[in-house]
Chains A and B, each alone.
Chain A
């Protein structure tokens, strides 16, 4: 991937009273090897914009293009499986799969042989700082920071060029937060991924290469 570009992206939804423009004509582009922080007050539209970048829904108008091709023309399942990984505040791990199985899950979906998938996932788990004796544990036996590392390892193992993180440090203490931020930075700078983080945490945004501030569905400093 060379670039992920948003062109005049608008997203509307209808609540009980009126039609709300959660994202209002946002244009910006994202490059590999950089960490982007998407900041703004609650309700400013940053999580919705992140979901549109993740291919979880389609913009009401405007386009999101990956290397010049509109994601609207792509199969969204395939786009999510092959190009994008999302990391959530509440980790969203499969509670009945082991740490190793969670990390290898996208590879199982791609029909990679189990042994190879497990080896690759184990490598990524070690890369994010987990120990081998933790691989067979279930997620609820790990701390929050460790669970978030598993989620990052899953994103890494999937090989996606774009890693989207929605408040990845929201449930973590400061030590774990800085570790996770450091890992995400390494992903961008050493593994050449495009990392986009939605955050309220000033420490996270200060460490980002690019900060995009959203207000009322628009980027106000882009």
Chain B
């Protein structure tokens, strides 16, 4: 019963809040603006952080091996050991380049005496040869259970143009200075070059013997964009930056890291992020100050009212409680409206953005709490002398 009766005082206090609707509306607007603006800015920041990590994780930074001047990437004459090293099949002088690179693509060509007028092209993957890419229009059809993966392995197998398919499924080839070798046909190439036979890059020429081919073209991707600079530094140990070298000796090769677009995107996002990270605390301070002083001044402006309450005999603590009840209702209403508007605008809300809104509400309440404490701790006689 006591609690219910005590509600009469709280009830009329809250009704008075409604009757002071202009002041109440202003306080709600201040609380809502603080919660809304910090929440939206926090959300923008989080979105940019996600965009940054997505760009880093999902971007492909490709690298093309060139001659030392960087002018030719199609006729490298590079020993295949480099490719083996990039692929992780060979480690040289403690270098583990496959920790830094992935998706290695390489081709090596050899003119064949038989079938006459044909070329044997060794590829690491279908992507290695532009003619086989879908862009160029060629299509590869694998027989039975053979897959593209076979080309990455080790075996005497090949892909041939459709008109070279034999009845027994094998084709015999021979190059100058080499013994003829019989390759199993594992698929055909339609709409591609009519005189090129494709085989795995690491195909043994004879059982157990691998011929040292010279690589004609080679490219690969950076394995981990997060450590781009470290990766580039490591790669440059084995290649050179083409624009830094004029040396063409058949032993020195350049590498072009195609990270311009990536770097531009990252820099753009990081610039946005830096600005947002700078703006967010400024906005929090501005909104916090406005919220603090709005509630402080609104509460202090009612000094005479509190004086009359004290004069009637209401305890300091009770007045403080009533003021805080009023301001809590307004602060939470404002924050709720601010958050709801933010959700409507943004479609989602992050926990840290909610924490900012809570911080704004806290600062708002702190302003009125300090004002109320200051007022209620002053001598009643002094308070009664305050003019309306």
**Contact surface of A with B, Cβ cutoff 8 Å:** 48, 51, 54, 56-57, 77-82, 86, 88, 90, 92-97, 101, 105-106, 108-109, 111-114, 117, 138, 158
Contacts and interface: CB of A to CB of B under 8 A. Distances in A.
A145 to B, nearest CB: 19
Residue among B305, B318, B388 with max Cβ neighbours from chain A (10 Å)? B305
A153 B204 CA distance: 112
A80 B312 contact: yes
B313 A51 contact: no
A82 B313 contact: yes
Nearest to A111: B5
Contacts of B19: 96-97, 138
Contacts, number: 75
Contacts of A105: 12, 312
Nearest to B388: A90
B16 A56 contact: no
Nearest to A85: B312
Nearest to B6: A111
B8 interface: yes
27 contacts: A51-B381, A56-B380, A56-B381, A57-B380, A77-B310, A77-B316, A82-B313, A88-B384, A92-B311, A94-B305, A95-B305, A96-B16, A97-B15, A97-B16, A97-B19, A101-B12, A101-B15, A106-B312, A108-B9, A108-B12, A109-B313, A109-B314, A112-B8, A113-B4, A117-B8, A138-B19, A158-B312
A51 B384 contact: yes
A117 B12 CA distance: 12
B9 A54 contact: no
A199 B56 CA distance: 83
Nearest to A106: B312
A50 to B, nearest CB: 10
Interface of B: 2, 4-6, 8-9, 11-12, 15-16, 19-20, 304-305, 307-308, 310-316, 318, 379-381, 384, 388
Contacts of A78: 313
A117 B5 CA distance: 10
A135 B342 CA distance: 43
Given A51-B384, A109-B9, A94 B16 contact: yes
Nearest to A114: B8
Nearest to B9: A108
Contacts of B318: 109
Contacts of A101: 12, 15
Contacts of A54: 311
Contact of B312 (A51, A57, A81, A112): A81
Contacts of A95: 305
What 9 A-B pairs are tightest by C-beta distance, nearest first? Answer: A81-B313, A80-B313, A114-B8, A96-B16, A111-B5, A96-B19, A108-B9, A56-B381, A108-B8
Given A82-B313, A111-B6, A92 B308 contact: yes
A8 to B, nearest CB: 20
B20 A96 contact: yes
A94 B315 contact: no
Given A56-B384, A96-B16, A96-B20, A86 B8 contact: no
Residue among B2, B11, B19 with max Cβ neighbours from chain A (10 Å)? B19
Given A92-B307, A108-B12, 17 more contacts: A54-B311, A56-B379, A57-B379, A77-B313, A77-B314, A80-B312, A92-B311, A94-B305, A96-B20, A97-B16, A97-B19, A106-B313, A109-B312, A109-B313, A113-B5, A114-B8, A158-B312
A95 B384 CA distance: 16
Contacts of A51: 381, 384
Contacts of A77: 310, 313-316
Contacts of A79: 313
Contacts of B16: 94, 96-97
Contacts of B5: 111-114
